[in-house]
Amino acid sequence: MESVHNPHFFECILDLDTPKLANYQIRYKEGEHERVTYDTYAFRSPKLTDFDIHLFTEGNHHRIYEKLGAHSDTIDGVNGVYFAVWAPSARNVSVLGDFNFWDGRKHQMRKFGNGVWELFIPEVTVGAHYKYEVKNWEGHIYEKSDPYGFQQEVRPKTASIVTDLDTYQWNDAQWMEERRHTEPLSGPISVYECHIGSWNRASMSEPHKLPDGTVEPAIQAIELDPGGRFLTYREMAETLVPYVKELGYTHIEMLPVAEHPFDGSWGYQVTGYYAPSSRFGTPEDFMYLVDKCHEQGIGVIVDWVPGHFPKDGHGLAFFDGTHLYEHGDPRIGEHKGWGTLVFNYGRNEVRNFLVANAIFWFDKFHIDGMRVDAVASMLYLNYCREDGEWVANKYGGCEHIEAADFIRQTNHVLFGYYPGTLMIAEESTAWPMVSWPTYVGGLGYNLKWNMGWMHDMLDYFHMDPWFRQFHQNNITFSIWYHHSENFMLALSHDEVVHGKSNILGKMPGDDWQKFANVRCLFAYMFAHPGKKTMFMGMEFGQRKEWNAWGTLEWELLQYEGHQNIQRFFKDVNALYRSEPALYEQDFAEEGFQWIDCTDNRHSVVSFIRRAKDTDEFIVTVCNFTPQPHSHYRIGVPEAGFYTELFNSDAREYGGSNMGNLGGKWTEEWWFHNYPQSLDLCLPPLGVLMLKLNREKTTAALAEGQASQA
């Protein structure tokens, strides 16, 4: 090669039709060093096609993450990595990495269709660190992490890492196949919500070991919090999973695990939407955690944040020197209260980025559901905005039409690929048909958090029991509307932070009454129609409010009171999973029936939960005051012996052990419009669940007939 036009440029003419020259190499000198390498620009990758660009442009490339980003590839027998990024307004885009000394002049990318830049770089391997250097038309340079990158460096570093997600050997084929043929809403769903960075921690002196047994000092060195270092995904697979299994929960819900730069955001300010956080290990380690959950019969739900993203310079903000991912008008594209930006849902490629991201987590990591954060912030243009700070839609309303269309598209596409999964909306307004199918005009989620029930319950249980007689509506109001949506009852992390105290601290009275109130609240929650979610620490009566920088107060379990409440949750979960009447008809009117909801003088309610396609039912009686009642009568639909299945006031839970000696026979005493009734002993701040024992009733009836004969 010769320098013909410029002393810094060398050139020659090659006939690339000659097979030997298809992947030619160049030998060159840098000072006294000589190197031999392939010419990057001699390779044309077939990975990205015109059809890919067409689908991406119209927002319908559901697996665009297999084309954009960084992917190991082999072209003409040469191994390397194919890079592709969407930056339509950039003047130049280069790949920076440890393989080119982070020099943006060495690997400038080619521009493909619709502003996608691509380049195959030979001899780059899995594990390489890289970024994109984006130069706009004014000459300003931005160094960006890969929006479609599968792994990032541990913060505060921000480079993406070339990763192969197809090497892990899954062991959950049976789980995945059974899930496809299961209707989850007809089964029990009891969710343990968990922030994996603060559920538990390891001692700083305890090293983080890799799967091969070697010690990895990088993660340990960066975790200097006095609470100890983070557990890894694999360590949580050996500790968190059996703990949740023992307590009887059906699912683990993890606060966002996608990469985020600031620990204090709890994961809700995402910069790496396609990358599990490297704080806890590699993507393969996260796969191992999910695999272990499925091995133990536990589903995995992750929090997903498509509503907003942070302004960090290495992230999506102002990606190609323009408002690419965010809406350009700050009255639409910015949440000033949160200091974040809002996606431009009306742009097809942005919508495609998010729809494909939802599919990605189900596809590559086998998760079983998503809880979608802050849905209301997406649906309303005036969300947390004063008059004059927002722009109306084309009809003059405050509804964000493009965001609603994006939500419908996501749910419609996702359930097409992955039936039997869950999409749960954290939606706090009266937007109609959130959990209705898209084909009838709904948003397409299959569950919605019941925020109204949560506020009513916490307000009710916070007040002194004497005043509860004047607020019976707090207990009963949710039944008026609970058939309008598929509701999930949730007492989440948001209720135990920012000075709100933990659940135990919200309760009035002395310590005995506090624990009794907690048992009463959760027993009523498990008997009430709707699926269940509760935050970590509630199951053993954490006293302090949640601290994301530390760990749960596990030391409390040395005390009997906290052991008792943990036993209560284990038993109430077991009862819930064993009785179809408590979950089969959560969303059908036939599944719930009041016996009496008007006894506000005693602050007592009683009701029936019915199973589907059988005559099985559960009678529940709740006494929300510390005043016991020795002869409290309720009507029941059938005569016989009613076994006391569950008593929240039992001695093993720390209660006073008042009850009904295992059950009660009915009496022919017309009450509550039933010809039969039960004379019950109601314990203080207690919930009873009773079930007709048909075998014992039938045997007694046969014995009575025989004695008469």
Categorize the per-residue pLDDT at 228 as very low, low, confident or very high, splitting at 50, 70 and 90: confident
Are 493 and 475 within one domain?
yes
CA dihedral 81, 87, 90, 91 (to 10 degrees): 40
Closest CA to 198 of 451, 567, 496: 496
At residue 333, what is the residue type?
G
pLDDT above 50: residue 271 = yes
Q: Are residues 531 and 600 in the same domain?
A: no
| pTM, to two decimals | 0.93
Query: Is it the case that residue 214 has pLDDT exceeding 60?
Result: no
Quote the CA–CA distance of 241 and 245 in Å, as a whole number.
6
Q: Structural domain tally of the chain?
A: 4
Closest to 160 measured CA to CA, from 135, 133, 141: 133
User: What average pLDDT does this structure show over 264-279?
Assistant: 95
Q: For this structure, is 373 an active site residue?
A: yes
Active site residue 539: no
More confident residue, 26 or 209: 26
State mean pLDDT over 321-335.
Answer: 95
- Local confidence band at 27 (pLDDT 50, 70, 90 cut-offs): confident
Examine the pLDDT at 624 and tell me if it is beyond 80: yes
pLDDT per residue over 359-387, tens digit each?
Answer: 999 999 999 999 999 999 999 999 999 99
- Name the domain boundary from 134, 162, 190: 162
The residue annotated as part of the active site, out of 52, 291, 326, 373, is 373
Please tell me which residue in 118, 259, 349, 426 is annotated as part of the active site.
426
Domain end point (choices 162, 194, 218) = 162
* Residues 688/680, Cβ–Cβ less than 8 Å: yes
Amino acid at 257: V
- Look at residue 23 and tell me whether its pLDDT is greater than 80: no
CA distances from 353 to 53, 56, 303, 477 (A): 13, 9, 17, 40
The C-alpha atoms of residue 53 and residue 67 are separated, in whole angstroms, by 10
Residue-level pLDDT at 33: 85
Task: Tell whether 31 and 76 lie within a shared domain.
Answer: no
Same domain, 258 and 381: yes
Cα–Cα distance for residue pair 645/642, rounded to 1 Å: 9
CB neighbour list of residue 419: distance below 8 Å, 6 or more residues apart: 180, 181
Domain range for 559: 177-580
Same domain membership, residue 611 and residue 510 = no
pLDDT classification of 704: cutoffs 50, 70, 90: low
Task: Check which CATH number belongs to the domain holding 539 and give it.
Answer: 3.20.20.80
Specify the DSSP element, H or E, that contains 251: strand 251-254
Verify that 126 and 213 share a domain, yes or no: no
pLDDT of residue 192 exceeding 80: yes
Same domain, 465 and 370: yes
In a domain, 68, yes or no: yes
CATH number at residue 66: 2.60.40.10
- Does residue 474 share a domain with residue 616? no
Last residue of a domain, one of 542, 565, 580: 580
Closest by CA to 68, choosing from 274, 282, 317, 337, is: 274
How far apart (Å, rounded) are the C-alpha atoms in residues 293 and 237? 7
Alpha helices in 372-510 (DSSP H): 375-379, 401-417, 451-462, 472-481, 503-506
Q: What is the chain's length?
A: 709
Question: Is 172 domain-assigned?
Answer: no
| pLDDT the model gives residue 219 | 44
Percentage of the chain with pLDDT > 90? 84
pLDDT at 700 over 70: yes
**3-state SS class at 239:** helix
Residue 44 domain-assigned?
no
- Report yes or no on 171 lying in a domain: no
Q: What is the mean pLDDT of the chain?
A: 93
Q: What is the pLDDT of residue 221?
A: 36
User: For residues 123 and 78, is the Cβ–Cβ distance under 8 A?
Assistant: yes
Whether residue 443 is found in the same domain as residue 484: yes
Token match 């091995």: residue? 295
What are the tens digits of pLDDT across the range 554-597? 999 999 999 999 999 999 999 999 999 999 999 999 999 999 99
Same structural domain, 423 and 563: yes
CA distance 552 to 192: 14
Answer yes or no: is 168 within a domain: no
Torsion of CA 311, 316, 320, 325, to 10 degrees: -100
Is residue 93 within 8 A of residue 55, CB to CB? The reply is no
Same domain? For 352 and 224 the reply is: yes
Determine the Cα–Cα distance for residues 58 and 52; give it in Å rounded to an integer. 10
Q: Nearest 5°: CA angle at 129, between 128 and 131?
A: 130
Shared-domain flag, residues 260 and 383: yes
CATH number of the domain at 673, please.
Answer: 2.60.40.1180
